[in-house]
């Protein structure tokens, strides 16, 4: 632990000295240029290659096709098991003798802490600003389909988790891709997919789970603390310092922190959205009309129908991460009697994250007119890709003081997402290079936290999309091949529920 504090201290001192240097502006521009030219550009050419005839990026088509297949293959488990999922989270089936490290609620909170956050506040605002109200429709649809994808991958996360020699339980896509496909005689393919998933997950933890959180939360905090507008690197150093202290712990500490922070953050934010919607209740039908019409007739949006669909899918997946395999890492540690239990719990994530929270944000953005307001402040926020600031402007137009509360919530959302994604990335790093090298990952994670304060929001957003969406390539392919096993486990679980072998404990 002393070594970590010494390393973090050295990193912070070096970063501060560099940022305070007279040439700090040049440094920021250089880093931003490298970030965009050598990372974002080349990877985007592959991941966002447009399928001839469809005009749809490859990764977007892959995600939609995968989520649709899982919904059909699992017999609309997203609808049939919804009520049972609520009972599981409420603890009605909890058993202290079940093997695991955290409860269903803690695992759900840990996973939600990585998804409910700036994707809901900043990401939705960006989606509506770029794709119009119609982007919301596709976000909701992907959220509903994503419930089945999340169920499938998290069930596999439980089925192929391992208990290590130190007693800790580890699981995730890298385990079910390598071990699950090995059982099917596809060991080489499984290994390749697992390695690719880990590399992309590590990149996603640096981008969407880290730098993006710093960049977008900073844009909001700057509206109430102007000091950070002139010295963005200072915000980066503060965020780096507090995250550096917390990521010393493991999943149990992250679950404990998330269990306390996430419900409070969600409650405050949702209540504010509900108040704004209640005050403007008469405009809600019109807003939904604009959302539905804009989904199929987006004449004013560049790219037309496909353009708005792509924007909605990208922001929905970035928000709820269904199909990318990340949440399986957190859910693998839950206490269960049957792997399907945790898969059922996990299907609630896209519903809470996208269908409920994202829709509320989108309605606020549409009803207040923030998405196409000619006001200079709104235009500046849209052009700079500052979704958090755009949402703040929209909500503050109804609740003037709310920008201060939202700034605090955004800061905490970013913090909770970063600590959860640090765990995801570190587990993948350890799977590749061993636990003894975890310190290297942590230092790299902290570097990207600082980097998020000095690179442009556009480059951070693009890199985040590429890494997190890219995780879907190896994950969905592996889960498609393993889907028959999941269906068998689901049938077995439902049979035990029907026979009373699995029953409520409270």
Domains, the chain, with CATH or none: 26-499 (1.20.1740)
Q: What number of helices (H) and strands (E) belong to the chain?
A: 29, 4
CA–CA dist 332, 170 (Å, integer): 7
Calculate the alpha carbon distances from 38 to 11, 24, 35, 42, 179 in Å.
Answer: 24, 21, 6, 7, 34
Q: For position 370, what pLDDT does the model report?
A: 80
CA–CA dist 161, 222 (Å, integer): 42
The separation between the first and the last C-alpha atoms of the chain, rounded to the nearest angstrom, is: 41
Q: Which of 31, 196, 171, 47 is nearest to 101 (CA)?
A: 171
Instruction: For tokens 């840990």, name the residue.
Output: 110
Beta bridge partners of 51: 56
Are the beta carbons of 294 and 133 closer than 8 angstroms?
yes
Q: Which of 346, 295, 342 is nearest to 322 (CA)?
A: 346
Q: Which of 359, 265, 285 is nearest to 319 (CA)?
A: 359
Rg (CA), the chain: 22
Q: Which of 61, 181, 73 is nearest to 481 (CA)?
A: 181
The pair of structure tokens assigned to 409 is 């919530």
Are the beta carbons of 148 and 135 closer than 8 angstroms?
no
CA–CA dist 204, 425 (Å, integer): 8
CA–CA dist 413, 409 (Å, integer): 6
Q: For position 394, what pLDDT does the model report?
A: 85
Half-sphere exposure of 2 (CA within 13 A, CB side): 0
Beta bridge partners of 56: 51
Q: For position 79, what pLDDT does the model report?
A: 92
Backbone angles phi, psi at 170, to 5 degrees: -125, 140
- Size of the chain in residues: 506
- SS3 assignment, position 300: coil
CA–CA dist 477, 177 (Å, integer): 9
Calculate the alpha carbon distances from 432 to 188, 189, 191, 210, 414 in Å.
Answer: 15, 16, 11, 20, 27
CA–CA dist 439, 429 (Å, integer): 10
- SS3 assignment, position 363: helix
The pair of structure tokens assigned to 501 is 């072998």
Q: For position 194, what pLDDT does the model report?
A: 94
Cβ burial of 265 (10 Å; 0-12, 13-18, 19+) is: buried
Q: For position 178, what pLDDT does the model report?
A: 93
- Listed as ranges, residues in the chain with pLDDT below 50 are 1-24
Are the beta carbons of 48 and 305 closer than 8 angstroms?
no
Beta bridge partners of 328: none
Are the beta carbons of 15 and 243 closer than 8 angstroms?
no
Question: Within a 10 A sphere around the Cβ of 234, how many other Cβ atoms?
Answer: 17
Q: For position 25, what pLDDT does the model report?
A: 52
Calculate the alpha carbon distances from 351 to 341, 378, 463, 471 in Å.
Answer: 17, 29, 26, 21
Element at 50 (helix H, strand E)? strand 50-51
Are the beta carbons of 116 and 357 closer than 8 angstroms?
yes
Buried b (16+ CB within 10 A) or exposed e, 138-149: bbbbbbbbbbbb
Which residues neighbour 7 within 8 Å (Cβ) at sequence distance 6 or greater? Answer: 439, 443
Q: For position 80, what pLDDT does the model report?
A: 92
The pair of structure tokens assigned to 397 is 């137009």
The pair of structure tokens assigned to 494 is 């439902």
Question: Which DSSP letter does residue 76 get?
Answer: S
Q: For position 331, what pLDDT does the model report?
A: 78
Q: For position 20, what pLDDT does the model report?
A: 46
Give Cα 259 to chain centroid, integer Å: 17
Instruction: For tokens 């807003």, name the residue.
Output: 287
Give Cα 229 to chain centroid, integer Å: 26
The pair of structure tokens assigned to 173 is 């896509």
């Amino acid at each position: 632990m002393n070594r970590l504090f010494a390393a973090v201290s050295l990193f912070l001192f070096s970063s501060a000295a560099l940022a305070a240097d007279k040439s700090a502006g040049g440094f920021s521009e250089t880093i931003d240029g490298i970030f965009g030219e050598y990372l974002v550009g080349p990877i985007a050419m592959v991941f966002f290659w447009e399928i001839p005839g469809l005009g749809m990026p490859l990764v977007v088509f892959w995600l939609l096709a995968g989520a649709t297949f899982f919904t059909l293959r699992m017999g609309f488990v997203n609808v049939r098991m919804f009520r049972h999922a609520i009972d599981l989270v409420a603890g009605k089936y909890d058993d202290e003798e079940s093997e695991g490290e955290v409860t269903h609620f803690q695992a759900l909170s840990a996973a939600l802490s990585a998804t409910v956050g700036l994707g809901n506040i900043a990401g939705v605002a960006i989606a509506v600003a770029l794709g119009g109200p119609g982007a919301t429709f596709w976000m909701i649809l992907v959220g509903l389909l994503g419930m089945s994808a999340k169920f499938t991958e998290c069930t596999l996360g439980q089925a192929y988790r391992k208990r290590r020699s130190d007693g800790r339980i580890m699981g995730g896509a890298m385990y079910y891709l390598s071990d699950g496909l090995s059982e099917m005689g596809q060991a080489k393919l499984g290994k390749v997919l697992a390695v690719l998933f880990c590399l992309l997950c590590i990149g996603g933890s640096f981008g969407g789970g880290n730098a993006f959180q710093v960049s977008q939360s900073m844009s909001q905090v700057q509206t109430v603390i102007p000091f950070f507008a002139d010295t963005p690197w200072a915000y980066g150093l503060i965020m780096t310092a507090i995250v550096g202290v917390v990521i010393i712990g493991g999943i149990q500490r992250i679950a404990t922190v998330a269990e306390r922070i996430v419900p409070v953050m969600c409650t405050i934010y949702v209540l504010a959205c509900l108040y704004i919607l209640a005050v403007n209740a008469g405009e809600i039908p019109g807003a939904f009309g604009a959302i539905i019409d804009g989904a199929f007739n987006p004449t004013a949006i560049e790219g037309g129908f496909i353009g708005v669909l792509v924007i909605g899918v990208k922001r929905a997946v970035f928000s709820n991460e269904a199909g990318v395999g990340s949440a399986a890492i957190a859910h693998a540690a839950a206490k269960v009697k049957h792997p399907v239990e945790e898969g059922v719990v996990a299907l609630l994530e896209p519903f809470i994250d996208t269908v409920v929270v994202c829709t509320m944000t989108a309605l606020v953005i549409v009803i207040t007119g923030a998405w196409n307001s000619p006001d200079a402040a709104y235009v500046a926020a849209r052009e700079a890709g500052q979704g958090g600031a755009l949402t703040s402007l929209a909500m503050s137009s109804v609740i003037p003081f709310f920008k201060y509360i939202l700034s605090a919530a955004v800061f905490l959302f970013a913090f909770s997402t970063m600590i959860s994604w640090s765990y995801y990335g570190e587990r993948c790093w350890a799977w590749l290079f061993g636990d003894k090298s975890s310190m290297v990952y942590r230092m790299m994670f902290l570097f990207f936290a600082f980097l998020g304060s000095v690179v442009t929001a556009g480059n951070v957003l693009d890199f985040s999309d590429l890494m997190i969406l890219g995780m879907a390539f190896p994950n969905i392919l592996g889960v498609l091949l393993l889907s028959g096993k999941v269906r068998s486990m689901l049938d077995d679980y439902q049979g035990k529920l029907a026979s009373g072998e699995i029953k409520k404990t409270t």
